[in-house]
Amino acid sequence: MYLSREPHPSFRPDIATLFGGCLPRHGVHSDLVALQEGEAGAWPAGRAHTRQGRGRLGRLWARWAVALDLFRLSRDPGYDAIQVRDRILGALIGLLAARRRGLPFFYWMSLPFPDAWQDLGRGDAANSASWPQRARWKLRGALASLILYRVVLPRADHIFVQSEAMRALLAGKGLPAEKMTPVPMGVALPERLDAVAPADDPRLAGRKVLVYLGALERLRHPEVMIEAMVEIARREPLALLVMVGDSQHPGERAWLEGEIERLGLRGHALITGWMAPAEAWRYLRAAHIGLSPFPRSRILEVASPTKVCEYLAYGVPVVANDQPDQAALIEQTGGGLCVPLTPAGFASGVLELLADPARAGEMARLGRARIGQLRSYDVLAARLAEQYRRLLAPGGGLAAKSAATAVAARAGAGGPP
């Protein structure tokens, strides 16, 4: 049983692809418990237990209700474990439900939310926040840190994290490293590149296309790519930066478009907005180089970005900065260049590859050949399924230990064992 912070249906590949598609092929099925947004979507890995809420209060109640549903749903004898993803109070409820039913409890952390909220409270990542907003973030982060790091995670049977860096972060908080398994972000590898037609956008015709796929919030410093284009366009007039994505804050996209105008780059940079993944892949197929600027901070340092995986999977060489997960992938695959997160760094990397098409092509070939062995969701699913089998092995495993804990808890409460 899998309680997720993400609403259903989710387009995050580590939910939809990994748990919804790949793990069932390895014998790991899950019933999803989540807030529903929009039309109900299929959940091929099992059943989807969802609730909807109207308005802010309705949604808040629905989030509480789906977490409390764990007590009722866990009566089903078919469950082997309860897993909670990224929820804080929901994780506490999940832990209590698991202990009540004698089931192992797993926690899945894609982001250390308590730390992120505390950074927001200090103004580290949101300098425009007002004092009352920062105070709320700080209080929320402190309470979440107390619940998650002092109560839930020390009692969890296992913790799944996004990266080795995240495991080190939690180990620094006193949690045993051997109780954690890193599961990085992966990619669904297209079997045949020629089955994905390049985008037929006329603006790309005859250009040397640089593509960025993803969010354009100022927190991610997309202006680095814009400022790099000044030097790139001066030395390579056919270069065109295509940013396939948007910001959830409309003012931030307007600011970025203003920077394009201010720097005289109207003919060298464009923002498409969000589009369906299948259409985004077509822009990637038309690209000469994929760009992946990813800021380094206390929180983002432990993340596992998807862009490098996606670019390599579609046969595109990469220019990315030295965030740990990105740097490791580039070193392991040979699929690109690792540069400083500065306009000069990205301009230098892009111009180096544009000036040597043979080298760029070899990087694209190596990257595509090797990324599947490292980060395809089929490979990640096989490893993860094996870890679940080890954790849930009968006879002295976590299930037996959790059942004994549940018996002791009920006996201590005066109830029947």
CA proximity to 309, closest of 379, 240, 386, 357: 379
CA proximity to 318, closest of 283, 365, 276: 365
End-to-end CA distance of the chain: 23
Give per-residue pLDDT as tens, 159-200.
999 999 999 999 999 999 999 999 999 998 888 888 899 999
Task: Measure the CA–CA gap between 283 and 83, rounded to whole angstroms.
Answer: 36
**Element spanning 387, H or E:** helix 377-391
Give per-residue pLDDT as tens, 230-252.
999 999 999 999 999 998 887 89
Residue 7 confidence (pLDDT) above 70 = yes
The pLDDT of 90-99, averaged and rounded, is 98
Give per-residue pLDDT as tens, 335-393.
999 999 999 999 999 999 999 999 999 999 999 999 999 999 999 999 999 999 999 99
Q: Kindly state the percentage of the chain with pLDDT values over 70.
A: 93
Banded pLDDT at 100 (limits 50, 70, 90): very high
Higher-confidence residue of 395 and 366: namely: 366
Q: Is the pTM of this model over 0.95?
A: no
Alpha helices (H) along 102-190: 113-122, 131-145, 153-155, 164-171
Yes or no: say if 217 and 249 are a contact pair by the CB < 8 Å rule: yes
Q: What is the pLDDT of residue 395?
A: 66
Distances (CA, A) of 240 to 26, 212, 288, 294: 43, 11, 10, 20
Residue 412 confidence (pLDDT) above 80 = no
Kindly report the backbone phi and psi dihedral angles of residue 114, in degrees, each rounded to the nearest multiple of 5, phi listed first.
-60, -40
The average confidence (pLDDT) of the chain is 92
Could you tell me which residues come within 8 angstroms of residue 393 by beta carbon, excluding any fewer than 6 positions away?
none
Banded pLDDT at 115 (limits 50, 70, 90): very high
Banded pLDDT at 276 (limits 50, 70, 90): confident
Q: What is the pLDDT of residue 406?
A: 53
Tokens of 179: 């109780």
